[in-house]
Amino acid sequence: MAINNTTISRTELLEALYIKAFPAVARYVAKRGATPSEAKDVFHDALVIYMEHIQNGREVPNNEQAYIMGISKHLWCKRFDEVTKMYNGDISFIDTEADYTEAATPKLMHLLSTTGKKCMDLLSAFYYEKLDAERLAQRFGFSGGRSATVQKHKCLEKVKETVKQKSLQYEDFME
């Protein structure tokens, strides 16, 4: 898909790369503490670097998605290193999972309660108590781990449907 090998326009290339590569980059940096805005910044910087490499005649691999992911990983690690150096290695200023969990827990519990007591108990046991499928089966009287997994999936579908019906967004849980 490289611009120098085909008649594809620069705009078409950027749109295609955005569709193919951005979700993976966003997931990667989000797992490492990035905000959606930071994920976009890292991806856009990676796209700029990629396009510069093409324009400068530098040979780039055929798999643009993997190449952009590699650039993005490098950029995110570099950005994280710069931030920690700026604070002399003290990263206590970074929000912890507990900060988000405390804010989200009451709203999530309310959302879970709309699925019914059994689903709420099942999902709470899985996500908060970290029980595996076999232990869930024992606790809730399912025939086996597979049955517990199927029931958990059905409960999650109820939650997803409620979220869709109420048009809830991520930010609704973080206030």
**Digit-coded pLDDT (tens) for 24-75:** 888 888 888 888 888 889 999 998 888 888 888 888 778 888 888 999 898 8
The pLDDT of residue 143 is: 92
Q: What is the pLDDT of residues 125-167, one digit of tens each?
A: 887 888 898 999 999 999 998 998 999 888 888 878 877 777 6
Q: Are 47 and 14 in contact (CB under 8 A)?
A: yes
Phi/psi region, residue 142 (left: phi>0; alpha: psi -120 to 50; beta: rest), is beta
Q: Which amino acid is at 27?
A: R
- The whole-angstrom separation of Cα 160 and Cα 167 is 10
115 versus 77: the higher-pLDDT residue is: 77
Output the pTM of the full model: 0.46
Rounded Cα gap, residues 123 and 42, in angstroms = 34
